[in-house]
Amino acid sequence: MSVIKEVKAELRHFMKTCLEKVSAEETKQQSEAVCRKVTDSKWFQDSKRISIYVSTTGEIQTDSIIDTALKMGKEVFIPQFTKGSTAMEMVRLPDQKSFYSLPSTLWGIRQPDPSWTWESYHISGPLDLILAPGVAFTPDGLRCGHGKGYYDRFFSTHSSNFPLKSPLRIGLALRQQIIKNIPVSETDIQLDDVIYEGEKIVTDGFMEISK
């Protein structure tokens, strides 16, 4: 295992311990603040085609962003994972009823059943905005995911499919997920921005304990 992979594995373990201490009430409060920042932003309001992750535990909860986007008439695309595949599909969410009827499947993530033939984003064109999850972020957009590489490959595939259109890539984070530094490899793609409640870096002890 490379040094970068080792440090990232340590970081994921460290963040798991940190996030286990965040109560459901605090997650809800931070999520509401982040969601307001997102939906009030000009870049969100100007975007017509949006990819949004469907949240699970230990993440900023995105249900209200998805609900708002659908009410505004935006085209909303959500991840679809297939067991054994290294690729993540991004498919169009038909409506609010379909969203609230999503089954919980792989890793407890709500997503369309693999047998559902929802339209993939690349059939109808490029995206304007991608709201991405992660395990940890730096304020300037470095991101550590869960280690499967789904989002980095998705960013790369979008660039290959639509080289003339680069969507805005935004990470959504709890304060506890913001750290000072994240080791990156050549396949890691930096985000354009990270949205979280407040401005202060809270979780700043990882690099000290990992040395």
92 is in an annotated binding site: no
169 is in an annotated binding site: no
| Nearest Cα to Cα of residue 12 among 206, 208, 211 | 206
153 is in an annotated binding site: no
32 is in an annotated binding site: no
18 is in an annotated binding site: no
11 is in an annotated binding site: yes
27 Rama sector, left if φ>0, alpha if ψ -120 to 50, beta otherwise: alpha
53 is in an annotated binding site: no
208 is in an annotated binding site: no
147 is in an annotated binding site: yes
The Cβ-side half-sphere exposure at 203, using a 13 Å CA radius, reads 27
Backbone angles phi, psi at 79, to 5 degrees: -70, 145
Give the separation between CA 121 and CA 35, rounded to whole angstroms.
23
36 is in an annotated binding site: no
54 is in an annotated binding site: yes
DSSP-assigned letter for residue 118: P
35 is in an annotated binding site: no
148 is in an annotated binding site: yes
10 is in an annotated binding site: yes
Q: Where are the beta strands (DSSP E) in 39-96?
A: 49-52, 75-81, 88-92
Under a CB-based contact definition with an 8 Å cutoff, are residues 54 and 62 in contact? yes
Give the separation between CA 86 and CA 65, rounded to whole angstroms.
27
Under a CB-based contact definition with an 8 Å cutoff, are residues 173 and 144 in contact? no
Which residues are annotated binding-site positions for substrate?
54, 59
Which residues are annotated binding-site positions for ATP?
8-12, 143-151
Which residues are annotated binding-site positions?
8-12, 54, 59, 143-151
